[in-house]
Amino acid sequence: MRGAFQPSFRIAAKWCTPLTERQNQGRSSQHSALRIPHAAFRTSHFFPAHLFLLAVCIGAVVLLHLPQLRLPYYWDEAGYYIPAARDFYLTGDPIPHSTHTNPHPPLLSLYLAAAWKLFGFSPLVTRLAIAVIAGAALYVLLLLGALAASPSVGLWAAVWTATTPVFLAQSTLAHLDMAATLGVLATLYFFLRRRLLACAVAGALLCLVRETGAVVVVTLAALELGRLKLEGGRQKAEGNRDHSAFRTPHSALSVCLLVAPLIPLAAWFAYLRWRTGLWLGDAYFASYNVWGALHAARGVVQFGRRLYQLGIANFHWVATAMIVGSVIRSVARRPPAVAAPRGGARHAAPVRSRALAPVLAVMAAYVTLLTVFGGPLARYLLPVFPLLFLLAARAALQLSWRGRDAVMALLPVLFTVCWYWNPPYPFAYEDNLAYADFVRLHRDTAPLLEQLPSGTRILTAWPASDQLSRPWLGYVSRPLITIPVAEFTRQELGNVPEDSFDVLFLFSRQWHPDWFDRFPRLTRVHARLFGYQQQAPAEWIAQRFGLRRVTHIESRGQWVEIWAKSRIPHAPLPTKAFRMSQFGAPKLRYLTCNSISDADH
């Protein structure tokens, strides 16, 4: 790589190669110095360097997340993943009983339970455990990039992946997607190295983390089968009588090894069916993520959304432009094809020349699967993001244009801006550090609710209903009485009896700018395809139940409010200064008083 950034990247790239390969690089030209042979990735030859590189990747992830390491659990963490892992930690049962059952395999629960067993049950331990997985994913991406292209490609891909907002936000959240990312990268890496037994083990672990890993296993097995078919056809064309695709036991074994990870996944589904009576464990999950997703219009919209999330959002369009530019250049400069002589010597294609097809095939299969099934969350695409940046780094380093190095170095800066910048359209808080604002708001409001008289009934929606009733989630010191509703919609709140609660804890459940609700047709389409429900106005809620607003707190577009009835003798009072958000203090507006009757609307 030419330019101002070459020396530092080359020094770091040396940690990806054994000492003997460094010596060979020193005697070769600059162009060949970035060519790492297949044998360069035998980590047993240079284990301390690889261990150091892994430690650096994990340390970088931890340093980037120091402000978030002690945050309580967020949304789906509090709703499913942490309760399921805690049930396994306490009882050893892979089927959760304190939350609903999902078809997700239990490997992440086992991993978290082991971490809690060794270091104690706390959000800090959980966040660090996930950070280790994220760092390991970056380490494997470095090796994969160096194997498929060059160490510089691996380094650029790792830097871009580590700083892209979705990956950064998920690096300490106890969701399945980060572990699935590590599994996809490891499976693909061992497949390209032709370490099929290690590939099978990585694929099995991937399938036991997330059931969608089966599409990666099937894709790689299909590629292997296609390779064997092509070799058989070539042998037939050369006059070899034994031209069967499975002409040797080794050929048949390679395909069997690649599909073997489906066996433990099938065993898990059989066990789930035996324990719950349902193949997917939960009727609602199957309805929303499988049968409800089989809608033609939803598929078209979902496909466009996936392409946007992968290749355009959060300045990903810069990486996409690099790939498109490289493709155009390759097509324009492609020399005419020359037929190889029949019967001539043939050599195995180098790793880099055959790496592109598996990467593209895995990306296409994963995006297709998530277009047909599953929800619209961007984190489901997390295993594909590193592959996109791998292709982008490879493409960028093949191009020669003024300002290339500056653009490549600027991209992480643009990603950093997106950590804090919320887009002017609906998105999930967990797509950037907005999730941390959500958690901080709820964490700092919970002590106010704890000051209410004992026995006070709090009406709120999930996930706050779990946050206030389960102290082990990190928000309250004692369980509070909650009256849960699914959403803050007119329909849900209209079915709540007026005498069933005393205090309403209201908060912004979704990021929906004002302009979005000004288009009723767009709102109806979003509701029909993805279940969006417009939140009821606070004024309507106050009039419906005769409430008075006690506290209103805002932070970077998100807010929480406490509404109470007049029979509550004292309103909650702020007892401490609220913690600062990452770009300064939240906007606070208190409507607090010693007597609830003194509070105004």
The answer to whether 120 and 43 are in contact (CB under 8 A) is no
Return the residue matching tokens 């498929």: 148
pLDDT score recorded for residue 126: 98
d(CA 575, CA 572): 9
The answer to whether 392 and 478 are in contact (CB under 8 A) is no
* Distance, first Cα to last Cα, the chain: 63
- DSSP assignment of 511-573 equals B--GGGGG-HHHHHHHHHHH---PPPPHHHHHHHHT-EEEEEEEETTEEEEEEE-TTSSS---
The string of pLDDT tens digits covering residues 46-89 is 778 889 999 999 999 999 999 999 999 999 999 999 999 999 99
285: three-class secondary structure by DSSP? helix
Residue 347's region, left for phi above 0, alpha for psi from -120 to 50, else beta, is beta
Q: What secondary structure letter does DSSP report for 175? A: -
pLDDT score recorded for residue 417: 96
347 or 225, greater pLDDT: 225
pLDDT score recorded for residue 481: 96
pLDDT score recorded for residue 586: 45
pLDDT score recorded for residue 227: 87
What percentage of the chain has pLDDT greater than the value 70?
Answer: 77
The answer to whether 480 and 468 are in contact (CB under 8 A) is yes
Among 244-253, 288-297, 399-408, which is the least confidently predicted range?
244-253
pLDDT score recorded for residue 373: 87
Could you tell me the residue ranges of all domains in the chain? 45-332+352-420, 433-598
pLDDT score recorded for residue 9: 44
Among 129-143, 230-244, 449-463, which is the least confidently predicted range?
230-244
Average pLDDT over residues 310-337: 86
The answer to whether 285 and 291 are in contact (CB under 8 A) is no
pLDDT score recorded for residue 532: 66
Among 66-80, 497-511, 559-573, which is the least confidently predicted range?
559-573
d(CA 480, CA 466): 10
Selection from 144-148, 175-179, 291-295, 367-371 with the highest mean pLDDT: 175-179
Buried b (16+ CB within 10 A) or exposed e, 251-261: beebbebbbbb
Tell me the two tokens of residue 280: 């997917």
Inform me whether the pLDDT recorded for 40 exceeds 90: no
The string of pLDDT tens digits covering residues 147-193 is 999 999 999 999 999 999 999 999 999 999 999 999 999 999 999 99
